[in-house]
């Protein structure tokens, strides 16, 4: 399956409750970006090391070179993230940046504002140097952003994609949710591994 998010803005916020598959959605989008053009570069940022590759809706290619332009950066603090955006990001010049667990990197709206402005500065630098625009998706738990001024937040990060929980038949294992009108099922397979599939496949 070749599902990918539809992006209408340079900066997009992916919102949803805890453990609803946001990391899988991000990683699936990264895979699609790389498969669509082997020269694309994707930067995946998160605050803790991934124990295993997140489950995706897209079958991963047998040829590992297809994902050679995917770089993981485990940045454990706000300081490390900002330092990366200033020093390392201009060197990598990615086509897509994915930041998982955004709530880990800020304590209030002014704090988030400064981080986004640093990010925008690096994006503008890359655009002028490379002649192409980089898209950014920032994933966060909805509850972490709820106390913030939503009008200011929308101005700061214009794009918004919401992961909404679904109530379905109890016969369907795991949890179900909807993203941009497409419905998914996050479940454990017989080996106890997390997996994801589109509900139309059931």
Q: What is the pLDDT of residues 144-195, one digit of tens each?
A: 998 898 999 999 999 999 999 998 888 888 889 999 988 999 888 888 888 8
Q: Which residues pair with 46 in a beta bridge?
A: 74
Amino acid 118: pLDDT: 95
Amino acid 14: pLDDT: 96
Token output for 73: 């950066």
Q: Which residues pair with 13 in a beta bridge?
A: 138, 160
- What is residue 50's three-state secondary structure? coil
- Does residue 1 register a pLDDT over 60? no
- Does residue 2 register a pLDDT over 70? no
**Per-residue pLDDT band at 78 (split at 50, 70, 90):** very high
Q: What is the arithmetic mean of pLDDT over 23-49?
A: 91
Amino acid 137: pLDDT: 97
pLDDT tens digits for range 84-125: 999 998 888 899 999 999 999 998 899 999 999 999 999 998
3-state helix, strand, coil in the chain (%, to 5): 35, 25, 40
What is residue 66's DSSP assignment?
G
- Asked if 45 contacts 73 with a C-beta cutoff of 8 angstroms, the reply is yes
- Angle (nearest 5°) at CA 45 between 44 and 51: 85
d(CA 70, CA 12): 19
Q: Is 22 exposed, middle or buried (0-12, 13-18, 19+ CB in 10 A)?
A: buried
Amino acid 170: pLDDT: 83
Amino acid 199: pLDDT: 84
- Angle (nearest 5°) at CA 44 between 128 and 103: 100
Which of residues 41 and 58 earns the better pLDDT score?
41
Q: Give the count of alpha carbons within 13 A of 100, CB side only.
A: 27
Q: Which domains does the chain have, with CATH numbers?
A: 11-163 (3.40.50.300)
Q: Would you tell me how many other CB atoms lie within 10 Å of the CB of residue 84?
A: 17
d(CA 155, CA 94): 24
pLDDT tens digits for range 125-146: 888 888 888 999 999 999 999 8
Which of residues 39 and 202 earns the better pLDDT score?
39
């Amino acid at each position: 399956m070749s599902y990918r998010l539809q992006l209408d803005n340079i900066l997009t916020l992916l919102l949803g409750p805890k453990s609803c598959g946001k990391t899988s959605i991000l990683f699936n989008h990264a895979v699609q970006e790389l498969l669509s053009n082997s020269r694309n570069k994707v930067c995946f940022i998160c605050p803790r090391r991934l124990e295993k590759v997140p489950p995706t809706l897209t079958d991963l290619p047998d040829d590992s070179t297809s994902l050679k332009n995917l770089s993981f950066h485990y940045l454990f603090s706000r300081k490390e993230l900002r330092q990366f955006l200033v020093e390392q990001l201009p060197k990598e010049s990615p086509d897509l940046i994915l930041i998982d667990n955004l709530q880990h990197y800020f304590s209030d709206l002014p704090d988030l504002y400064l981080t986004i402005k640093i990010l925008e500065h690096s994006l503008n630098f890359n655009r002028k140097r490379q002649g192409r625009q980089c898209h950014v998706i920032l994933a966060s738990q909805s509850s972490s952003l709820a106390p913030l001024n939503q009008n200011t937040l929308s101005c700061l990060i214009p794009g918004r994609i919401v992961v909404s929980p679904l109530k379905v038949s109890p016969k369907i294992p795991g949890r179900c949710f909807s993203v941009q009108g497409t419905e998914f099922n996050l479940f454990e397979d017989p080996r106890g591994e997390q997996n994801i599939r589109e509900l139309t496949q059931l």
